Amino acid sequence: MKAGNKFGAHRVIEPEGVLPQPAWKIDNTMEIYDNEILIDVDTLNVDAASFTQIEEAEGGDVRKMARHSLDIIAARGKHHNPDTGSGGMLLGTVREIGPKLTDRDLKVGDRIATLVSLSLTPLKVDEVVSINKDTCQVKVKGQAILFETGIYAKMPDDMDEALALAVLDVAGAPAQAAKLSRPGETVFIIGAGGKSGLLCAYEAKKRVKPTGKVVCLVHGDAGKKRLEKAGFADVIIQGSATDQLFVYDEVRKATGGAMADLTINCVDIPNTEMASVLATRNGGTVYFFSMATSFTSAALGAEGIGADTLMIIGNGYTKDHAVISLEVVRESPVLMEIFKDTYATGAGNPEPVGLKA
């Protein structure tokens, strides 16, 4: 068995000298190296920005969406959307473990979710079985490789798998919200009606109360209803995050002109950078969790209006993020109910595809 680089660099085909994530193409043959884990994959949780882009590009036709994803994998050896630069994560069963990794608390047959992006994961999909546009989850028949440095979570035995996968997909967001929110602060959450937004709103509310405030922006009625049901928001604003001056005016009203101490951007569409910056006071912090963010727009836009704002890239990993995110849902009965209704097995409207590669 061949020896592999711990970061997976041995899988890079082009260009030379880079790691698997920024690489254009990687080797997705499923014969493992000594420090890799082979996974039989049954579910892809495509990240929201990528899923939305593919859905819009293909007019919502699930068969065309499936072909779009299969073409990406065929061209790049991974599900790395060239239009958004993002991927997602996967759920599957451990099939084989390289001899260098046998000291891990993992065995063949374990159900795991990878906590690294599909944009760096060698992936081979033989068939797209179905697509659920409500949850961004794609049922497949395929295999994938996890590198030595790749992190993962064993699926909890007290939670529906599809629900747990949805939570783990955005695990970095609530964990970062927990670290960044402070007592007495005003936290503004953009895209608060989605799964990452709801988890962040819960963590923010828990930490800023009783003197702080959580202000939330939602676009659609469904997200607004979820947020109202959850009860985490002190103020709910409904409108588009791309309407920069609208967002600025509404947050100014909600904060008496003080603006937000912390803004968390969870939306899956582009052109929301300046709304985030405008909503935040000088000296405040903007956490861009959204993979639709243009950091060029954020940096140059902030410079253009003289905004002295700390901007944080939405690293999908922070210490213990999987444990934190699952515990949030466990400790909040209303969140558990919302997530069961929205993401658990049988939720949404999975559409059969049956398209082979």
Rounded Cα distance, 191 and 198, in Å:
9
pTM of the predicted model, to two decimals?
0.89
Give the distance between the most distant pair of CA atoms in the chain.
Answer: 65
User: Is residue 292 included in any domain, yes or no?
Assistant: yes
114 and 236 share a domain? no
The per-residue DSSP string of 35-56 comes to T-EEEEEEEEEE-HHHHHHHHH
The tens place of each residue's pLDDT in the chain, 357 residues long, gives 899 999 999 999 999 999 999 999 999 999 999 999 999 999 999 998 899 999 999 999 999 999 999 999 999 999 999 999 999 999 999 999 999 998 889 999 999 999 999 999 999 999 999 999 999 999 999 999 999 999 999 999 999 999 999 999 999 999 999 999 999 999 999 999 999 999 999 999 999 999 999 999 999 999 999 999 999 999 999 999 999 999 999 999 999 999 999 999 999 889 999 999 999 999 999 999 988 889 899 999 999 999 999 999 887 788 889 999 999 999 999 999 999 999 998 888 999 999 999
Total domains in the chain come to 2
Rounded Cα distance, 336 and 338, in Å:
6
256 and 288 share a domain? yes
186 and 145 share a domain? no
Torsion over CA of 75, 77, 83 and 85, rounded to 10 degrees?
A: -160
Give the position of tokens 């400790």. Answer: 331
Rounded Cα distance, 91 and 161, in Å:
9
88 and 176 share a domain? no
113 and 162 share a domain? yes
Give the position of tokens 């000088």. Answer: 282
User: Is residue 331 included in any domain, yes or no?
Assistant: no
95 and 241 share a domain? no
85 and 182 share a domain? no
71 and 205 share a domain? no
20 and 97 share a domain? yes
Which residue range forms the structural domain that includes residue 305? 172-315
96 and 214 share a domain? no
Given a contact cutoff of 8 angstroms between Cβ atoms, the answer to whether 147 and 97 are in contact is no
144 and 39 share a domain? yes
176 and 91 share a domain? no
User: Is residue 330 included in any domain, yes or no?
Assistant: no
User: Is residue 335 included in any domain, yes or no?
Assistant: no
